[in-house]
Structure 1
């Protein structure tokens, strides 16, 4: 035999040959299995053949059954089985009669009862012998118990029910469920079979139409998993046949793949032919060799345990056990067991596999000191996958036995969710793939790009999500709801003495299903959204947040030094595009590298190279108007950029002048850059280029600082020009505030007259913002204060002011103002308006808010004749509790980050909610509500609020 290490192709040929043979045998077996007929029900061998034919009454259920197992029956129905009396297992009616004859009539007996439908339960009742009817037991012939009938299947259509006992098929009797199943599948040529059953003590005949193809999802999953093992084993063996660990893994997985399908799947070898013999012998060989290979390959994977490999007996012992198993199982199977019955063989395999597993666990515990921390870390995921798989196998193999020991009332119970076994095997393969790829084991580089990983995982999630939805739909459609005896009508709720009618039951069921469906849609929507967000974040698939980017870049370009600016741009671009690495190079006058920042690698040598190549690098970048690949650079810098894993260069330009460049590395998602990426980056760099240019202009920065200082002085002067205190007016509670959008603004308010009983409240707004608006505001405020000395009404005040302003206001400037003169002695108010927003007036008598809108045009934009003809003054009474609200357009036009205006509706709503408070509280709450509405958005207009509230205080 040639040396495999020197001739790896020999192993390639060997593993391909073995895998091909196993795949062919498995595929033929699969085709034969799925093409077998089925009667679409489930049956089991009788746990007892003593059939109860008469009802049992006047008994009590054993306290353990009631308290522990929630068994509560008023009578024992015909069809149940008798297992034991007074803990004596009864085999037949003769033994039953002997036991009953030995019991006194008044003595209380304990009867062990077995139900006749899934889940098959075993419980005990206490009953006097005198209450046990005569001839209540019928000793059935050999038969099987139907425990489940598939909905809509051939058995249900024929009339068979769970709890029926089949005593013959086509007149053929059988001793157990295996023989019945064998007869059913061997005689698959017949379309209809004649069933003789016992139900409620009576014999019935049914003709059952067989289904031509019988396959379950569990069976398909097992078949799929076995081929995953074949594929993984072949991949490792073909790629790395010269490595011992790879060869052992390859053989282990290929042989285990056959063992999974033909062993775990558990189909009987019903057709005794050449294929059956080959299948059984191959299964025995795969078991005898495959399990020891698993033990041996763990000595080499993920790292070689040299000390343990030298102890050859460690891996020889499992092969000895495998040889003993192979010989003994075949001998006993052929010469001593029923050639058709795999039950005995499964016991051999179970004993053998447990022996190998225990041996492996003992060896790992004894020699755990040889495992280094590094080996433990490398093999952690594989070990956890193995542990999980073993737990799943133990659960599947021993669930019924363990459950019976814990809960005696559950006589026959299958392990829940059997699909967990093949799923655990799939997880084991994934653990191997992940471990090999992460730690580059077996000289293999298994690297799936993250964008492909994302597509696979998101597709799997979508498939899982759809399966979950279909599963829920299926469960709802098959769920039987038991509603209380309550009848609902439009006018009453009636509790009935008898169960509700089927029609009403159906109505309630539909209502409940609709409610559950709506709730389920909401839950599934949240679940899908949450998982998609997690996947997007994990694989860096998050789309651009243009608004956030614009906001953050607005902050970045405010950096005062060029080094801060370049560092901030690099960090922001890396976060926005989710890059593994990025670089920023900034030039001074297209010659000298004035600043550079890099993220994602050690850039000390690289930055020196760029600094030395400043002029040449700048000239090369200048030739390109947009992004370009590294390949277009000159040598040797092109090779160096490649070594540092940069892929693209994006110029930063202003008016064809190169300010710098952005060096792009690979994305974290490992996706290629798209046109959308470059367009977005170009838009950002356009802003950045302006910021870079402005940063170089130190003189402009100095000027900006000086102007800022002067604006601060102007702001303090403007604040001082506004009322510094609230006048004390009898019967009136007044509060006001004005907040400029910039350092200074064009909004203003004032309190004129200021006697004990009279006051004129003025609110105005000059067009524009900033310094120019503030200067006009100061001029207008001075004019109004001067004219008010003549004790004018609001209308007269505006007419005089318009006459003065008309001569001096610029064409693109206008003024709006509104005034209200309150006389608290007579509770009257005069109101005039010059193009300003209305006064919002709350009437305590009517408990409603209305708008007071006297006619009036803009101040200073028309001649006095025209102005006087278009302004009116309103005189009105007010009562204690009435409230007057003055505002500027900065309130209702305040805008949030979704570009929604605060608008008049929100203002009135806020105003009404705060009517009961004092004027200052009303004002504060309105300002606070506006501030909360715009949140972090900077206000773009000045804001002014004045509140006048009338009260009954007339001191």
Structure 2
């Protein structure tokens, strides 16, 4: 110490711990320090140690208070966002709230969110000009390789995720619901230039998980609302369908008549009708409207109203059908159409006329065992405005049976994806015709079709059957 002209060295201790050292030069009066001076300097060293310790404690306390304030602020923000998330069911609103929080708490204005659905990933939200579609696409493949136990990480140049760093990603946060990764939050550089610290990652992990849970809950709520809406719509459709179908069958001398409709879960547009034209003449109709739910039910309602109105004019069936076709064409879009069969029956003679507009051909089972197919007519309703229709005719003799049905019968599918088809309908009536009533036959056919399709995973269609037998 001589070269530095330092004549005295004194350690600075605090609780036997060396905190520093004091160095003294020569005294102005002499070069050797008196023992009293040395004692004074030692006391000064102890005071210095206390002052240094106090200063360090104050600095640590200020830093702890700063961190505590930040924690309180973050907890308050998490509490607030948790309350807001509980009120939101729109995905974009949830992600906008996330964006606002990231900016307010961490000065982050560049980030994107990836949704993980199995092996598939898709972008839910992206903010900031830096993250172009090309950059995001480059992150997708890397993201697919992240393990299930991946935790939040702040990225550095030397990290194993250097490919992400090169794309401007500075932190990746998994978004979990019940320990399952539902997506990822990718963060760019903060506006203040500070790196993401451990406390930031802890906060971001909680925020990301809350966002994932909120998105999951919102999706379930939207699904419940949509399910409720569909249930209400189907209830309306069923009510419309029920009102349009005859509540009871007419009791006509020398004839056994029965019609039935079993709506599917989705409620289609099946319809049948029995309209008296006079005391001795009746009109029978069956139709299948394309589509499901309320739209199909409303179109069916319009068809019924138009049919009843046109019946008052006593038009030939070919003309009546052509006018129905024009009405349907004018009031529907291209994807809407109706298969339709209409028949008039003279109760006295058994003579009938019919038009088949693209409907499943009804079958006439003669008492002698022969089968006739009623297929004369034309195109389905609603496709071409000027379609022309031809009428067919015949006679329902005593013992004959005529059955009309919709494609819910013939297209019913079993677990081998085989359809019930027309041949089974023919075989059914040929083997069971006998002395059974039309009601019993229809119920038995429905039972047979239901058993045939019992193990099918395919959704069933409406089933409608209208059967007429002349008794004498």
Q: Does 1:885 align with 2:421?
A: no
Q: Is the 8 A contact 2:268 2:290 kept in 1?
A: no
Q: Which moved more, 1:742-751 or 1:778-787?
A: 742-751
Q: Does 1:946 align with 2:461?
A: no
Cα distance in 2 for partners of 1:923, 1:793 equals: 30
Cα distance in 1 for partners of 2:423, 2:217 equals: 43
Q: Does 1:923 align with 2:442?
A: yes
Which of 746, 751, 754 matches 2:274?
751
Which of 226, 234, 237 matches 1:711?
234
- Matched ranges for 1:683-762 at <5 A: 693=216, 696-753=219-276, 755-762=278-285
Q: Does 1:905 align with 2:418?
A: no
- Residues 803 and 707 of structure 1: CA distance in aligned 2, closer, same or farther (over 3 Å): closer
- Residues 827 and 928 of structure 1: CA distance in aligned 2, closer, same or farther (over 3 Å): same
- Residues 626 and 849 of structure 1: CA distance in aligned 2, closer, same or farther (over 3 Å): farther
TM (norm. structure 2) is 0.54
* Superposed displacement of residue 633, structure 1: 7.6
Segments of structure 1 that go 5 or more residues without pairing to the other structure are: 1-588, 591-621, 635-655, 664-688
Cα distance in 2 for partners of 1:694, 1:922 equals: 50
Q: Does 1:874 align with 2:397?
A: no
* Superposed displacement of residue 735, structure 1: 0.8
Give the aligned partner of residue 374 of structure 2: 852
Q: Is the 8 A contact 1:749 1:763 kept in 2?
A: yes
- Residues 657 and 776 of structure 1: CA distance in aligned 2, closer, same or farther (over 3 Å): farther
Output one character per residue of 1:630-672: Cα deviation in whole Å (capped at 9) or x when no partner: 7x789xxxxxxxxxxxxxxxxxxxxx96545569xxxxxxxxx
* Superposed displacement of residue 798, structure 1: 0.6
Cα distance in 2 for partners of 1:752, 1:627 equals: 69
- Matched ranges for 1:299-314 at <5 A: none
Cα distance in 1 for partners of 2:293, 2:461 equals: 10
Which has more strand, going by share of residues?
2
Cα distance in 2 for partners of 1:851, 1:657 equals: 63
TM (norm. structure 1) is 0.28
Q: Is the 8 A contact 2:244 2:271 kept in 1?
A: no
* Superposed displacement of residue 807, structure 1: 1.8
- Residues 775 and 659 of structure 1: CA distance in aligned 2, closer, same or farther (over 3 Å): farther
Q: Does 1:863 align with 2:385?
A: yes
Cα distance in 2 for partners of 1:894, 1:925 equals: 15
Output one character per residue of 1:401-451: Cα deviation in whole Å (capped at 9) or x when no partner: xxxxxxxxxxxxxxxxxxxxxxxxxxxxxxxxxxxxxxxxxxxxxxxxxxx
* Superposed displacement of residue 709, structure 1: 2.7
Give the aligned partner of residue 188 of structure 2: none
Cα distance in 2 for partners of 1:792, 1:857 equals: 19
* Superposed displacement of residue 716, structure 1: 1.8
Cα distance in 2 for partners of 1:694, 1:737 equals: 43
- Residues 777 and 731 of structure 1: CA distance in aligned 2, closer, same or farther (over 3 Å): same
* Bigger Cα Rg: 1
Q: Does 1:803 align with 2:326?
A: yes
Output one character per residue of 1:702-751: Cα deviation in whole Å (capped at 9) or x when no partner: 35324423431331232122111111222221111122323532111101
- Matched ranges for 1:253-652 at <5 A: 625=144, 628=147
Cα distance in 2 for partners of 1:694, 1:796 equals: 57
Q: Is the 8 A contact 1:769 1:942 kept in 2?
A: no
Q: Is the 8 A contact 1:761 1:819 kept in 2?
A: yes
Output one character per residue of 1:32-54: Cα deviation in whole Å (capped at 9) or x when no partner: xxxxxxxxxxxxxxxxxxxxxxx
Cα distance in 2 for partners of 1:841, 1:876 equals: 10
- Residues 879 and 942 of structure 1: CA distance in aligned 2, closer, same or farther (over 3 Å): same
Which of 283, 286, 293 matches 1:770?
293
Which has more helix, going by share of residues?
1
Give the aligned partner of residue 449 of structure 1: none
* Superposed displacement of residue 696, structure 1: 4.6
- Residues 743 and 694 of structure 1: CA distance in aligned 2, closer, same or farther (over 3 Å): farther
Q: Is the 8 A contact 1:832 1:873 kept in 2?
A: yes
* Superposed displacement of residue 939, structure 1: 3.5
- Residues 762 and 699 of structure 1: CA distance in aligned 2, closer, same or farther (over 3 Å): same
- Residues 694 and 862 of structure 1: CA distance in aligned 2, closer, same or farther (over 3 Å): farther
* Superposed displacement of residue 844, structure 1: 0.6
Cα distance in 2 for partners of 1:757, 1:776 equals: 30
Q: Is the 8 A contact 1:729 1:756 kept in 2?
A: no
Root-mean-square deviation (CA, aligned residues, Å) is: 3.0
Output one character per residue of 1:316-370: Cα deviation in whole Å (capped at 9) or x when no partner: xxxxxxxxxxxxxxxxxxxxxxxxxxxxxxxxxxxxxxxxxxxxxxxxxxxxxxx
- Residues 821 and 627 of structure 1: CA distance in aligned 2, closer, same or farther (over 3 Å): farther
Output one character per residue of 1:259-297: Cα deviation in whole Å (capped at 9) or x when no partner: xxxxxxxxxxxxxxxxxxxxxxxxxxxxxxxxxxxxxxx
Q: Is the 8 A contact 1:762 1:818 kept in 2?
A: yes
Cα distance in 2 for partners of 1:717, 1:725 equals: 16
Q: Does 1:779 align with 2:298?
A: no
Output one character per residue of 1:849-870: Cα deviation in whole Å (capped at 9) or x when no partner: 2312103112122233xx22xx
Cα distance in 1 for partners of 2:145, 2:242 equals: 50
Q: Is the 8 A contact 2:236 2:294 kept in 1?
A: no
Cα distance in 1 for partners of 2:145, 2:442 equals: 54
Q: Is the 8 A contact 1:839 1:885 kept in 2?
A: yes
Give the aligned partner of residue 825 of structure 1: 348
Q: Give the total of aligned pairs.
A: 280
Cα distance in 2 for partners of 1:657, 1:898 equals: 42
Give the aligned partner of residue 359 of structure 2: 836
